Amino acid sequence: MTAASNQAGVKTDLGVVSNEDKRRLAALESAQRVRQKQSLDLQRERILSQRTSSPARRAALEAALKDIEAQIATLS
């Protein structure tokens, strides 16, 4: 491969984006998704560990758990 083919890019409104820049951006986005999923997993574990005798509190925890699980599903 030549240096020119390694630096080949795509023209955008902001200029030329090289293939290396695309790979870096993809890696950053992937790392962000992993961190977000880890955060959601921690929130899920925290909710599951809480115990309460209050029906209102229990309903709120169940709603929060359902929301977090939906967010996790969209990331997967």
Average of pLDDT values for 51-73? 94
- pLDDT score, position 2: 45
CB-based contacts of 47: which residues, under 8 Å, 6+ apart? 61, 64, 65, 68
More confident residue, 75 or 13: 75
- pLDDT score, position 13: 56
- pLDDT score, position 75: 87
Model pLDDT for residues 13-58, shown as the tens digit of each residue? 556 778 888 999 999 999 999 999 999 999 999 999 998 899 999 9
Going by the DSSP 8-state scheme, the letter that residue 13 receives in this structure is T
Hey, where are the domains in the chain?
A: 3-75
* pTM exceeding 0.75: no
